[in-house]
A and B are shown apart, each in its own frame.
Chain A
Amino acid sequence: MPFKEKIAWISAVTTAIVWGGYFTFAFRTMMTGGVPHPSIYMAAFTAALILQALLAAAAAIVVAILAPKDANAPADERDREVARRSYAIAYPVLISLIVCVTVTVYFGATPWDLVNGMMAAIVIAEIVHYGAQIVGYRRGA
């Protein structure tokens, strides 16, 4: 498996786990009708950002140690093409989600609803981006 495909897998899995956890917390809070103090949301949000960065970095370091030659190799034409294609696929997804989330501000969404909605949009777009990268490498694009 190419190094960049491994990184895409790591990014997809850590994003899904960490932000899945954060959104489960946010959704449960919303369903129970509880409105936690903004600082609790802020702490959970910041913790999710830091945790994902740490997990992804740690996993990438382990993969790089196991295959140092692959890790140090510069991106070739195929890597660049896979990256461009995956962004081009995620781009319309992000546009659509931004439009959907933004208009909720007129339907009673609170500031934190908007923050969570936008973060969900980014997370979904990023998972589509990593997924497209993985599919690109799997198909040998």
Chain B
Amino acid sequence: MAYREKTAWLTLVCMIVAYVIYFSLVLSGQVGPRLLDIVWTFGIVASIQAVVVIIGHVVLAARSDADERARPDERDRAIARRGGSAGYYVLLVGTIVVGVVMPFSDPAPKIVNTALLAIVLAETLRHVLIVTSYRRGWHG
């Protein structure tokens, strides 16, 4: 497996684990309704995720050849953009739901958490597409 595919898997797995934990806490009512509660819990989860991803990147970089870690080539960039493009559509739909439908029917904490969910879903799809593009040998 190529270095960039490994880092994509690492990011995807860490993200799924982190945000499943966060949204489980939200659904079980362990995150308070205040903005500070949401920011605090989300901040802790996102920070732990970031630290694990950084450590994972360092370990993967140490185990791989310098050639593999070279600057992203044209294919790597095309794959990254493909992921970003798909994530944008998901985020657009999420924005419409959060910004146009929910303000009239839902309380503030639900609106904020749904916005976070839309971002997380868009990011997850982005990374899934990156991983599958490497797996399937997509060349743009």
Contacts and interface: CB of A to CB of B under 8 A. Distances in A.
A80 B140 CA distance: 9
Given A99-B115, A102-B111, A87 B100 contact: no
A119 B126 CA distance: 23
A92 to B, nearest CB: 8
A114 B111 contact: yes
B95 interface: yes
Given A94-B91, A94-B92, A119 B111 contact: no
Contact of A111 (B83, B103, B122): B103
A84 B84 contact: yes
B77 to A, nearest CB: 9
B78 A81 contact: yes
A87 B88 CA distance: 6
Given A98-B98, A115-B99, A115-B103, A105 B88 contact: no
Interface residues of A, number: 31
A125 B140 CA distance: 24
Interface string B104-116: 1000100110010
Contacts of A27: none
B88 to A, nearest CB: 4
Contacts of A122: 92, 95-96, 99
Given A88-B80, A105-B111, A122-B92, A98 B119 contact: yes
B118 interface: yes
B82 interface: yes
Interface in A95-128: 95, 98-99, 101-103, 105-106, 111-112, 114-115, 117-119, 121-122, 125
Given A77-B140, A88-B84, A106-B35, 12 more contacts: A81-B140, A84-B78, A84-B85, A87-B85, A88-B83, A91-B88, A98-B94, A98-B119, A106-B112, A111-B103, A115-B100, A129-B88
